[in-house]
Structure 1
């Protein structure tokens, strides 16, 4: 693959000499061989030009679901990775949300083998406990050696405090990253949306933010006792932001993420009983959204994830109470983040996370492998079904105006133009 990117504005803050400057970029056999103000295309080189072309290092999402194995009707690994590539992502962290669940090294090897040969790299999480039941630790060390980048019982909170303590202590022996979903199930009860005025008006059982904050408080106390590395995925409340901020000031090794939809919507979106807006954690109040955005901006919240969860129509087009939790978000991630945070902050957020998960960090300079995302940040459009590449179409962003369009991705000596 030989390609020349013409007059591309580079968004790569670590490289001060080329950041926000227009340059030609010549790539041969997957390697960046030259970056200059003007480059004449060598023979047998494809030239890519686009008005307002921008380029950054390839993006990462820290929380993606597919379906295979077991739920191929939701999404296959192959189409899921193709969707990620079309959405600008050259790396994704895959949540353990399959059947069977990946609680052993064999399942991790399956994911690694099934994702070979794709432009986008798949980095699997293994289960923290066997079958996500919260009773016995899974084969953490063996899964780490097989390629797992962390351990997580996806959307299942760990009720056994001692088991979390043991997991954090044990994982330190091999630099393992433990995830803990922030939800106290006893407090949450049978709630399905945020507890508040909206849930009362709609007659739906609520999940108070206390359920999340109580669990986070417990986890942080345990982390302070044990040491180790803890990641808290998809927080949703102002109180959670404050708890994690205080923990970081203490020097605890904790990171957290927030789902894209929890930054964009509040619980007023539930008024139409559209089951696509049924999420876990639920959409919270306007005040929570404001605190979450501030937490992203000041660095308390480390990562923004699409929390991409494909669900086939039978799981969503049902009564709100009976619908499954989740929405897809990869295709709309850039358009929403660019709108919320502006270009430079959006690219910073989309590029973050690899160090935490032990993934090689791409560098945009001569002599390095090309791991790039191409985009036009000023292009606006309304999200429609035709913009969805996922097998499942359960998107809360349908009908929303997005700012920014992905033009292509380059990685693993492959290129995709959208």
Structure 2
């Protein structure tokens, strides 16, 4: 199959064509030619004003709910949502039924996702049933295709269990992913502890629950000399701890979510259940400091924390609503709408995740495998529910005008476009 991309501005700091507008010819899943003008017959020609091309984007934290909760999302609908959002690689959470805590569950995901438009990489649970008590068989999962390890939505509370996991994955240079959350602090908190929680009469979860865990886990990672990735960081103080940890030689990295950069707890005044997330939305001050850190390059990558929920899980009283929102299809537009430039976005979503998780580098050059995201960073559009490919529609961005639109992806010989 021949795919000809016309007049695309290449955004890839490692490419000799970075910053140049070129035609790109993809043949049988590989980039065969890059030139100012290519005149060949092609099976598919993509020519759109404002077209940009970058290495394929990666999301290191998304929930596809398969097996066990397919009424929320399936591998197929999750892959469609990821492709629509510009992602060629997605790491999926182990919080399924059964939990992805063994070789057979990893092999199920790898086999069932074969042939989908995006590459789906399972995160193996650190502990059996993701309960944080007894270590799972991580080596077996690694050899079967687990990309990283973590208990997904469940923060590992035991320092002893996390330390053993870090020491274990060090033997094969693996990475543990952790949501830093001391659940003994603000155990029943529904939103961020502060003026808004008091005003709304809802139990609050203090930000120190995150900061305590970040400080503890940095020490464990340093002691184990192993790789640890913090995801869903919401605190400027947590970021300061992480930066100091890096300077001291700890092998740590971090990601933030698009919604923690866009919303604050002030947006919860109407009890919008689509904004009920964990970690909770913080204050405007924390949100702005986090966004500033992203723009300054102090955050390593963006994780969507895509969590689909069926209608019943969100259309109910706030205290009974489930945590999470979908995010794969809106993440790029959210960051662009917040003023994050295209080069920074590509670094956060394509370059850095590959380095952190030890994946092969992707460079837009002749002869390389086609792993591309196509997008228009300036396009203004309205994010509508009827365009959502995810099986669930729990997004607070529905109806909002956003900047930056994904055109599609090329993943080897697989082409997906959002064009009608």
TM-score interval for Structure 1 and Structure 2 normalised by the shorter chain: over 0.9
8 Å contact kept, 1:241–1:291: no
CA distance in 2 between partners of 1:332 and 1:246 (Å): 32
Match of 2:33?
A: 34
Which stretch shifts more, 218-227 or 117-126? 218-227
Match of 2:80?
A: 82
SS at match of 2:48: coil
SS at match of 1:355: helix
TM-score, scaled relative to structure 2: 0.97
CA distance in 2 between partners of 1:161 and 1:46 (Å): 53
Match of 2:71?
A: 73
8 Å contact kept, 1:331–1:387: no
Number of residue pairs matched?
416
Match of 2:416?
A: 416
8 Å contact kept, 2:28–2:412: no
Deviations 1:258-298 (A, max 9, x none): 11100111111110101000000000011111221222233
SS at match of 1:245: helix
CA distance in 1 between partners of 2:234 and 2:177 (Å): 16
- 1:349 and 2:370 matched: no
CA distance in 2 between partners of 1:370 and 1:178 (Å): 29
CA distance in 2 between partners of 1:205 and 1:294 (Å): 29
Which stretch shifts more, 323-332 or 398-407? 398-407
CA distance in 1 between partners of 2:378 and 2:100 (Å): 41
8 Å contact kept, 1:372–1:411: yes
Question: Which of 128, 144, 149 matches 1:151?
Answer: 149
Question: Which of 206, 209, 215 matches 1:208?
Answer: 206
Deviations 1:345-366 (A, max 9, x none): 1222221302222222222110
Q: Cα distance, 1:218 vs. partner?
A: 1.0
Flag structure 1 segments of 5+ consecutive residues without an equivalent: none
Deviations 1:10-57 (A, max 9, x none): 111212x42121111111111111100111113x54322111211111
Which stretch shifts more, 170-179 or 121-130? 170-179
Instruction: Map residues 253-332 of structure 1 onto 2, 5 A cutoff.
Output: 253-332=251-330
Deviations 1:230-262 (A, max 9, x none): 111111112111111111111110011111100
CA distance in 1 between partners of 2:25 and 2:174 (Å): 38
Deviations 1:50-87 (A, max 9, x none): 11211111111111111110000001101111111111
CA distance in 2 between partners of 1:392 and 1:361 (Å): 33
8 Å contact kept, 1:244–1:300: no
CA distance in 2 between partners of 1:242 and 1:98 (Å): 33
Match of 2:184?
A: 186
SS at match of 2:238: helix
CA distance in 2 between partners of 1:211 and 1:90 (Å): 34
TM-score, scaled relative to structure 1: 0.97
8 Å contact kept, 2:17–2:365: no
CA distance in 1 between partners of 2:320 and 2:391 (Å): 21
Deviations 1:150-173 (A, max 9, x none): 111112122211111111112211
Match of 1:403?
A: 403
* RMSD (Å) for aligned C-alpha atoms: 1.2
Match of 2:224?
A: 226
